[in-house]
């Protein structure tokens, strides 16, 4: 069965500092991996995905994520945080070998960027 863990409920970072939001996953085959962001009372917005190829993927709003197969991780990063990055972040996984399998989301990490 697929699963996603986001070990931190909350991440606090000062504006201008680098940020990392952690994600680890478990799938039976090779994964498709995604990051989404949610602002209050809004739907989820897609940030980036790993499908294949370069382990470092770049996405919207200056975010990037690094796929690490040996550690089964897909941590979200940004070199310089903005106050406007404060939101709820979700990691999701889909097993590429299982066509009928659905997305599995992590529990979310609340990012607070302090001015």
Partner 1 sequence: DGGITQSPKYLFRKEGQNVTLSCEQNLNHDAMYWYRQDPGQGLRLIYYSQIVNDFQKGDIAEGYSVSREKKESFPLTVTSAQKNPTAFYLCASSHQGSGASSYEQYFGPGTRLTVT
Residues 24-43 that bind partner 1 (CB under 8 A): 32, 34, 36, 41-43
CB of 41 to partner 1, least distance (A): 7
Residue (of 26, 34, 81) closest to 59 by Cα position: 34
User: In this structure, how many other beta carbons lie within 10 angstroms of the beta carbon of residue 99?
Assistant: 7
Cβ proximity to partner 1, 54 vs 70, nearer residue: 54
Task: Write down the least CB distance from residue 54 to partner 1, Å.
Answer: 12
DSSP of 9-36:
SEEEEETTS-EEE--EEE-SSPEEEEEE
CA distance 93 to 25: 7
If one asks whether residue 105 binds partner 1 (CB under 8 A), the answer comes out as yes
Min dist CB 68 to partner 1, Å, is 20
The yes or no reply on residue 108 touching partner 1 (CB under 8 A) is yes
Beta pairing class for 10-14 and 64-68: unpaired
Contacts with partner 1 by CB under 8 A lie at 32, 34, 36, 41-46, 49, 51-52, 90, 92, 94, 99-100, 102-103, 105-108
């Amino acid at each position: 069965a697929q699963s996603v863990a986001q070990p931190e409920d909350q991440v606090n970072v000062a504006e201008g500092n680098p940020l990392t939001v952690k994600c680890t996953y478990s799938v039976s085959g090779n994964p498709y991996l995604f990051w989404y962001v949610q602002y209050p009372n809004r739907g989820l917005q897609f940030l980036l995905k790993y499908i294949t190829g370069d382990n470092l993927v770049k996405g919207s709003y200056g975010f990037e994520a690094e796929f690490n197969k040996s550690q089964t991780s897909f941590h979200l990063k940004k070199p310089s945080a903005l106050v406007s990055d404060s939101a709820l972040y979700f990691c999701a996984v889909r097993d590429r070998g299982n066509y009928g399998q659905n997305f599995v989301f992590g529990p979310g990490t609340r990012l607070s960027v302090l001015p």
